[in-house]
Amino acid sequence: MSLNELRSECLNCKNCKLCETRTNVVFGTGNPDSKILFIGEGPGENEDLQGLPFVGRGGMLLDKMLSVVDLSREKNIYIANMVKCRPPKNRDPEESEVAACRPWLEKQIEIIDPKIIVCLGRVSAIRFIDPNFKVTKEHGQFIEKDGRLVMGTFHPAAILRNPNQKPAAMDDFFALQAKIEELCPETYAK
């Protein structure tokens, strides 16, 4: 199955109650041949309206930080979320919603087959790395999981709330850049 076929199926999903309040399913965006996958939490208001992940102020910050290490969703990465529909009032997704949506993400991972996964924020890090993951303490550390490297870092919205975290987050992006050059330098091929 291709990513486009999976997207078409996902756009009709009604597997949890978030389908009742969404405007759009936010499936994901980027280069499907990328070896780098970023996983956020869930769509916010702007993402729900546009059907695209990370398009508000947080998304603009993310794009800016990515560009410093020569990464972009138009070129060499893919971005998805733990849940594809917006939780009302931007609350955290419930366990049952994450569980209902997980098969879509698992299938995305299977098709894209990334070498490196970056968890943006606690909600994805506690499910992909460690249930007790503490972003402020363990960000930027790569661990091996199912044959891939996984790293957790700050969510852009958290950096907007607390700009003091930006230098540490940027260091994580530089560490990511070094790991890409080591493991999948084709990411930077012109």
Question: Applying CB under 6 A, which residues contact ligand SF4?
Answer: 10, 13-16, 18-19, 25, 83-85, 97, 100-101, 104
Least separation in angstroms between residue 16's CB and ligand SF4 is 3
Task: Report the candidate in 120, 111, 4, 123 with the shortest Cα–Cα distance to residue 71.
Answer: 120
Least separation in angstroms between residue 54's CB and ligand SF4 is 17
Task: For tokens 């059907």, name the residue.
Answer: 51
Least separation in angstroms between residue 98's CB and ligand SF4 is 9
With residue 175 as reference, give the H or E element that holds it: helix 166-183
Of 18 and 159, which CB lies nearer to ligand SF4 in the complex structure? 18
Least separation in angstroms between residue 167's CB and ligand SF4 is 34
Phi then psi for residue 108, to 5 deg, are -60, -45
Distance CA 113, CA 85 (A): 23
Would you list the DSSP string of 89-144? Answer: GGPPPPHHHHHHHHHHHHHHHHHH--SEEEEESHHHHHHHT-TT--HHHHTT-EEE
Of 54 and 154, which CB lies nearer to ligand SF4 in the complex structure? 54
Of 41 and 172, which CB lies nearer to ligand SF4 in the complex structure? 41
Of 6 and 85, which CB lies nearer to ligand SF4 in the complex structure? 85
